Chain A
Amino acid sequence: MAKFSKKRGKSKPEVSTASLPDIIFMLLFFFMVVTVLRDSELKVNVVTPYATALTKLEEKSLVNYLYIGKPVKKYVETYGTKPRLQLGDKFATVEDIPLFLEKHKIKVPEAKHGRITSSLRVDGKVTMGIVQDVKTKLRKSGQLRVNYSAKARPQ
Chain B
Amino acid sequence: MAKTKTRDRMKNEINAGSMADIAFLLLIFFLVTTTIVEDKGILVKLPPWSEEEPDITKLKERNVFSVLVNAQNQLLVRNEPALVGDLRERAKEFISNPAKREDLAEKPTKAIISLKNDRGTNYKTYLEVYNELKAAYDELWDDLCQRQYGKPYSDELPIAIRRDIRSQIPMVLSEAEPTNFGEE
B33 on interface, CB distance cutoff 8 Å? yes
Residues of A within 8 A of B178 (CB): 128-129, 132
Chain B residues with a Cβ closer than 8 Å to the other chain, count:
49
Give complex CA distance A90, B182 in Å.
28
B144 on interface, CB distance cutoff 8 Å? no
Among B43, B120, B131, which residue has its beta carbon within 8 angstroms of that of A127? B120
**Contact string against B for A residues 4-26, beta-carbon threshold 8 Å, 1 for contact and 0 otherwise:** 00000000000001001100110
Residues of B within 8 A of A142 (CB): 48-49
Q: Given A20-B20, A145-B45, answer yes or no on A152-B123 (Cβ-Cβ < 8 Å).
A: no
Q: How far is the CB of B29 from chain A (nearest CB, A)?
A: 9
Q: Are B27 and A148 in contact (CB under 8 A)?
A: no
Q: Are B127 and A148 in contact (CB under 8 A)?
A: yes
A80 on interface, CB distance cutoff 8 Å? no
Residues of A within 8 A of B30 (CB): 28, 31-32, 35
Residues of B within 8 A of A151 (CB): 40
Q: Are A49 and B23 in contact (CB under 8 A)?
A: no
Contacting A at CB under 8 A, from B102-146, are: 117-124, 126-128, 130-131, 134-135, 138
Closest to B175 in A: A135
How many inter-chain residue pairs (CB < 8 Å) link A and B?
147
Among A31, A54, A124, A129, which residue has its beta carbon within 8 angstroms of that of B124? A124
Q: Are A148 and B44 in contact (CB under 8 A)?
A: yes
Q: How far is the CB of B160 from chain A (nearest CB, A)?
A: 20
**Residues on A facing B (Cβ under 8 Å):** 17, 20-21, 24-25, 27-28, 31-32, 34-38, 48-49, 51-57, 60, 63, 117, 119-120, 122-129, 131-132, 135-136, 138-140, 142, 144-152
> 7 A-B residue contacts at CB 8 Å?
A21-B20, A51-B127, A119-B39, A123-B123, A124-B127, A142-B49, A145-B44
**Residues on B facing A (Cβ under 8 Å):** 16, 19-20, 23-24, 26-27, 30-31, 33-49, 71, 117-124, 126-128, 130-131, 134-135, 138, 155, 178, 180, 182-184
Please give me the 8 A-B residue pairs with the lowest Cβ-Cβ distance, nearest first. A124-B124, A129-B119, A31-B30, A24-B23, A53-B134, A149-B41, A147-B41, A139-B49
